[in-house]
Each structure stands twice: as structure tokens, then as C-alpha cells.
Amino acid sequence: MNTIRLGERSCRPLPAGTAPLAQVQIEARLAQLPGWEYRDGAISKTFAFGSYADTIAFVNGVATIAQHEDHHPEMLVGYDRCRVAYCTHSIGGISENDFICAARIEALCRI
């Protein structure tokens, strides 16, 4: 598989009957997203920050991405960290949309 430029793509609605990505597809895409892992049916990463204000700024950035892509993660927010987890509930597994949003979050962290 050649490298998929996940962060340059946009989420798309998934038709009924769309199958979740296979384990091999998940692993290939995770290789493009350092620190992200697949566990308990979701892809996730915990981000660390120097202050509460930095954490909340990150949360707001993730919220903007989620609204724009119409694909929303689970977030666990603490004082200096935020765990972001994606899974596409409508298909019962991981979709390309999960990886697109994860890549956009990685790009957000490079700003």
C-alpha cells in the first residue's frame, strides 16, 4: 500500500453496509500516526501539555476539526493531558474517517 495522505482528505458519509477496516488496514494507517494505538475497538492517543490553558486550546482545536468533518471523538480531558479516541459507531468499528481526523489532529499539533 502506498502512503495515503490522510490529513489532506475529508471525511465522507458512509453508506449503509460499509464494513469496518480490517486489522491489516488499521495497522498500515497507524504507521502514519506516531503515538496512536488501536485498542478496545478504537484508535487513540494521549496528548500532554504544559498547562490547563494549553490543554483546553487543544480541545477547542479538536472540536473545530470534529465539527468541520462531522466526525466526533471521545475525549478525556485532564489538567495537562487529553486522550482522544475515534471509532465509527455506525459501522461498528474503525473507518477511514477515524484516521482522517486523527491525521488532522496531528497536523494541529504541528502548528
Q: Structural domain boundaries of the chain? A: 18-109
Which residue carries 460499509 as its cell? 18
Cβ neighbours for 62, distance < 8 A, ≥ 6 positions apart:
73, 75, 82, 84, 105, 108
Cβ count near 45 (within 10 Å): 18
Chain Cα centroid distance, residue 93: 13
- What is the chain's length? 111
What's the pLDDT band for 8 if we cut at 50, 70, 90?
A: confident
- Render pLDDT for 12-53 as a digit per residue (tens, 0 to 9): 989 889 999 999 999 999 999 999 999 999 999 999 999 999
pLDDT in tens, 93-103: 999 999 999 99
Residue owning grid cell 491489516: 24
Q: Mean pLDDT in the chain?
A: 92
User: Global pTM?
Assistant: 0.91
**In the CATH hierarchy, which fold is given to the domain comprising 18-109?**
Gyrase A; domain 2 (3.30.1360)
